[in-house]
């Protein structure tokens, strides 16, 4: 059964990678390899370094946020160790088919191995960190869409669906926040509502999920000052990543207004949800589509996407280097939860 499941996962991974690679090649041919290389040649080593450092600044802010969460839990950990754990998590998130998932377990495991924090406490800190991402990211998505509706002339056939998305997203965001603020078990409610409680994995880990949820609720309900600080850092990181987009385009000799940067950022955020390893083909298709809409051309879109990809791969490479340096295997990260029941009962 396990081998069968593994085979299905490997096939799914290979198929999605193949589709992404095919899209990537077709788009590159459409844009013209010569044009793309010419645009990339405009970036000197110094410009590339500045772009990468600006990208790292956003990661530093998010690491600082995570450090505050761990301090709230009573853990004093060096910024260096947390920064490395954050990069390790980023690398796994970027390389797995569905981004922003697998790396969270890796972060908790690195904390356990390097900082001697129990897996459950590490995972709780990561879960709180992730919820902050969801709150800030979804709020940016809602406000960004609303801003787009005001600033751009939207065709009639798109206006109503976009308005509906904004209203539904806003209702969900308010509901999500109120549930957390009032100490209600939101995730358990969602699991029960969609019948996910029948899944064997969720059945076996029901107590762990509830305990994790309690930690999240405790943070948002009783630690208002810490929440406001961490939320402010989330907003700051989002602003940095927006200006990071603007900086790349500026170095490509395109000084476009902030409203178009916001539109591009929203579309790229959506693109990362598509389950293709390293978002191969997806980033390029997104870049091509959005920059055609903005009147900059397919070659600029693909060049922009390739720069984003290069930054992600560079940081992923650094993360994998640290992962191997720690002697951590990916199987240890993902199957550690089988041996972590004692952690969740409060044992170290």
* pTM metric for this prediction: 0.76
Sign of torsion over alpha carbons 37, 42, 43, 45: positive
Which has more pLDDT, 6 or 204?
204
**What pLDDT is stored for residue 60 in this prediction?**
94
**Range with the lowest mean pLDDT among 98-107, 182-191, 325-334?**
325-334
Sign of torsion over alpha carbons 267, 270, 274, 279: positive
**What pLDDT is stored for residue 305 in this prediction?**
77
Q: Using alpha carbons only, what angle is made at residue 336 by residues 2 and 322, rounded to the nearest 5 degrees?
A: 115
CB-CB contact of 51 with 42 (8 Å):
no
Cα dihedral 92, 131, 112, 223 in deg (nearest 10): 160
**What pLDDT is stored for residue 274 in this prediction?**
59
Q: For residue 76, is pLDDT > 70?
A: yes
Q: For residue 315, is pLDDT > 50?
A: yes
Instruction: List Cβ neighbours of 2 (8 Å cut-off, separation of 6 or more).
Output: none
Q: Return d(Cα 202, Cα 196) in angstroms, integer.
A: 7
Q: What's the pLDDT band for 337 if we cut at 50, 70, 90?
A: very low
CB-CB contact of 103 with 91 (8 Å):
yes
Which has more pLDDT, 73 or 7?
73
């Amino acid at each position: 059964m396990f081998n069968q499941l593994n085979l299905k996962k490997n096939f799914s991974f290979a198929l999605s990678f193949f589709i992404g690679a095919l899209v990537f090649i077709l788009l590159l041919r459409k844009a013209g390899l010569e044009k793309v290389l010419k645009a990339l040649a405009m970036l000197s080593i110094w410009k590339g370094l500045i772009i990468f450092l600006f990208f790292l600044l956003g990661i530093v802010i998010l690491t600082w946020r995570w450090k505050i969460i761990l301090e709230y839990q009573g853990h004093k950990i060096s910024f260096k160790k947390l920064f490395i754990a954050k990069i390790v998590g980023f690398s796994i998130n970027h390389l797995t088919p569905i981004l922003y998932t697998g790396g969270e377990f890796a972060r908790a495991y690195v904390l356990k191995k390097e900082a001697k924090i129990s897996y459950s406490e590490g995972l709780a800190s990561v879960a709180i960190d992730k919820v902050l991402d969801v709150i800030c990211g979804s709020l940016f998505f809602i406000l960004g869409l609303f801003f787009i509706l005001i600033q751009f002339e939207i065709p009639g056939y798109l206006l109503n669906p976009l308005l509906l998305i904004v209203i539904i997203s806003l209702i969900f965001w308010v509901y999500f926040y109120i549930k957390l603020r009032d100490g209600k078990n939101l995730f358990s409610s969602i699991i029960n509502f969609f019948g996910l409680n029948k899944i064997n994995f969720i059945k076996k880990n029901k107590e762990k999920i509830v305990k994790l949820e309690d930690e999240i609720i405790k943070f948002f309900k009783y630690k208002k000052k810490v929440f406001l600080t961490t939320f402010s850092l989330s907003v700051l990181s989002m602003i940095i990543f927006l200006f990071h987009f603007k900086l790349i385009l500026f170095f490509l000799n395109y000084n476009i207004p902030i409203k178009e940067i916001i539109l591009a950022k929203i579309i790229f955020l959506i693109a990362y949800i598509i389950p293709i390893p390293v978002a191969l083909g997806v980033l390029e298709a997104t870049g091509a589509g959005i920059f055609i809409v903005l009147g900059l051309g397919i070659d600029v879109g693909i060049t922009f996407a390739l720069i984003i990809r290069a930054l992600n791969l560079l940081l992923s490479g650094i993360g994998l280097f640290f992962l191997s340096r720690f002697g951590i295997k990916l199987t240890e990260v993902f199957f550690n939860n089988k041996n972590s029941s004692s952690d969740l009962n409060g044992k170290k």
